[in-house]
Structure 1
Amino acid sequence: MAIVDLSTMAINHIDAKALHSWAKRSVAELSLRRAELNQLNVFPVPDADTGSNMAHTMEAAVAEADKGGDVAEALAVGSVRGARGNSGMVLSQVLRAVADSSADSLIDSHTLVNALKLAVELVDRAIATPVEGTVVSVLKAAAVAAEEAFEHSDALVDVLRATCDEAVKALANTPSQLKVLRDAGVVDAGGAGLVILLECLLAEVTETEQREGIAIPETIFELEVVFFYRGDIDKLEAAISGLGDSLVIARASEQEANVHIHSPRAGEVIEKAFAAGAVSNLRLEVLPARGVQQEQLADASPKVFVATRDTEMAKLFASIGASLYSAGMTLGEDDIFVGKPGGLNLGDAQVVAVSSNVEAIAALSVYAPGPDAASTMAEVAGGMRVDKPSDETVGAIIACCNDLLQQGGEQLTILTSLTLDTDQLSRQLGVEVIVVNIPGLRTEIGVE
């Protein structure tokens, strides 16, 4: 398969249709993560409505765009009319800036730079007393990053990637800028919503590239790993800095910090973090696929395979070192298959039989090349007790956790589509809790 240089073939703009598609994608993502954003909302008042306000504002924008006409202008008009709360107002000003900076709803890298700069001006004008550590800080960081990236490349995807990376870093820094966030152990809710919008735009641009015929030969999947850490921060940084990118360590003190990293080796990040100090409020989220060159994958060559029909689970498994098995594959004696082997032609592969996704995650998290790899993985998976709650509610999940812990246990892994407060659960249950969010998946709980 030929390798395509994306830096020379990347598209330079998106049109009105793609802009409309981005707006709809943003509504879906904000709605999906509404509860998560609401839980982050502690400033300016803890009224837990940022996610709802941003989702409603974007819905109003899309409803106006659905009527026809210039898409960018319609999104701006709809959002201003339908804006709810501070976060909705800020969002409306960002969309107004996009409309004022574009012509015929075409967005290129230069338009993006101008729109973000204008958005900063409009938001500063709209807010009587702008506060650092809020969405304002994230927006300013995004605007600066876009302008700096544009100096090196006019490809929209390049500028957007740099913008998203800096916005994520700025978001992770908000607790260090605003005491109320630091005390609550959260990042700014409005800033988190803005990052979602930017990442949705990046996803839209990437998919537009694919539709226009740019072949992406391989993909890797990463997880966003976020946690609060207590211990030797320099030791932690040295241990995980080579395991991913977008590493941000926002220090609350010399011994405490919020840690953020994007990594295709999330299992190793978590393992090293627990080995280095105390970890709490751990959150994992699957990031969009990213194209890479074949040479970058040469050293990885995963020897572990899983079978799943769930796209999000496939991304998660890939992020911790597994390849997706499909019918017709030929596996060798050095390969390891993790899953339910019934009905599959696995050849000479070693099999680690599991009956749940939680067990599969546990097995994959301890994989290390060597003659005893499969037996070690099987031992860890077999040592887990797994159950599912009676229904998809927080109360049912807690009840299920308590039932599992009656026989003892030191760590709970919860695979769920719900938004859970891991720090609160850890305190309530008296054990370490890891929550992995997978949209649309029925909750599974494993204890070890």
Structure 2
Amino acid sequence: MAPDVSLDGTALLSWAERAVEALSTRREEINGLNVFPVPDADTGSNMTFTMEAALAEATRLDEVEKESAHAVAAALAAGSVRGARGNSGVVLSQVISGIAQAAASGNIDGECLKNSLAIAVRLVDRAITEPVEGTVVTVLRATAVAAAQAGRGLRETAVAAVDAARTALMKTPSQLEVLRSAGVVDAGGAGLVVLLQSLLDEIEGIAREDGVIDSFGAPLSAHPVTVDNAVCDGRHGRHRELEIMCFIRLSGGNTLGSLRATLAEMGDSLILAPADTDPDGPARAATVHIHSSVPGPVIEELYRAGEVSDLRLEVLPESPQVETLHRAVMALAPDGPLAELYRQAGAIVITPGSPGDDATDTVSRILAELRSRGIGEVILLPNGLLTRREMVSAELAAHAADRTMTILPTARLVSGIAALAVHDPEQPVAVDSYAMAEAAGSMRTAILQRAEKAALTLAGPCSRGDILVTSGTGVLLVADDLQTALEQACTRLLGRGGELVTLLLTDEAAAEIDLARFTDQLPGVNSAVERGAEIEVMVYPAEGLAHLAEIGVE
């Protein structure tokens, strides 16, 4: 076939036949990659069965209908949705449904392929309750983005899609710990690459026996990758679950949204893939997929919601042992109570070296922790205890060790505490880092230290022994004693509002400050807070702090 013509119904049907052959040929190879969400070695089989069901439905069309790309695509979509097996099969059915929706206006050209992939991403996002990065979902998204940016021709778009899918597939081990531990790429993503490559082969007119077959860089044996069986603490792949699949037509006032909300409480790996190919019509039928340890209530709920057919149950193998701490927060803190505070909050603590120590010592300890704990992603809280040079060295060392490091702008130990309070390892690292950086940045901070000599500051003259309150890079105020300095500093910091004051006090500061007096006067100093509102004060011992105290207001 010429490179940049469109696919009619006959060519689309030929692609479906080619895809079935390609998936069948590589079934065992893809099965061997299958370790997530459970190592049941059936992803290749499920995708092959789903594509066979799609093809069987399309071959029932009469000869006239087979010439229509829309009719063939709609039949492929209907067959794949009804015959979908497993997570990967349901995702595959949504990709084909995307083609059916995009092909409504005619043959499949470059623009149609772009739209198909974009629609498929939306359908998959809608179908999967808890998408996980590093899976076929990630590969599909990267494919759609690359296709959208490609040239107008069908071949150009398909080439961009295949290249992007392969690249995204190779990155999946860096996104999902269980893949990295097993040394494989995502099985569903591999199946999608096979599907797209078969489409490109069809567009280019390559004979089926000469189609591209590249290794996925993983074992090619028929035996699945083995993972030690053990209890898994994560949500995905819970111990001795059943995979439940069926096709459902809703009855009465039931909706897919209400069914999804109910089933989400009964298991994981939940997918509801609408069977309706009309994007504007109400979804009244869907393929359901869920892993659950309570199959009875799940099945009861399905029959309550509508007419159930093609009900299938499969006992899943015991869950693999997955290291749930694939991401960690690492914080710089002085040895002592502050370090213990950070540890209790879940951080890995690195104590900085003494002044004059080799800067590489701290960086080496950071890297050693990354390697010894098997951490793939780390969020680093420097807390004002790392120089810019040390941060550069730490990031470069992490990159060289194939670890992802995000350094947050925590200039003080107290702002690091604020960041750690909102850490959510369930979120993607970029989202988690953003929330933590936002929490640290919204905290107004100051430090209290004694003046070592008389000087003229931005806040006025000071004598040796006076208390300097520094906020940012400038002196905020000068006071004769710690009590006055603390009260006046909080008055300034609370002037723009706030409901929580965090104090880090050394033993020396704690001995000189009357906390009862301090807290008694707090409600009166904050004009931005409604009268009578209470301000919470948290006090932490901070021996080892380089100054007398730190204040944080948020």
TM class, shorter-length: 0.3 to 0.5
Of structures 1 and 2, the larger Rg is shown by 2
What TM-score do the two structures reach when normalised by structure 2? 0.37
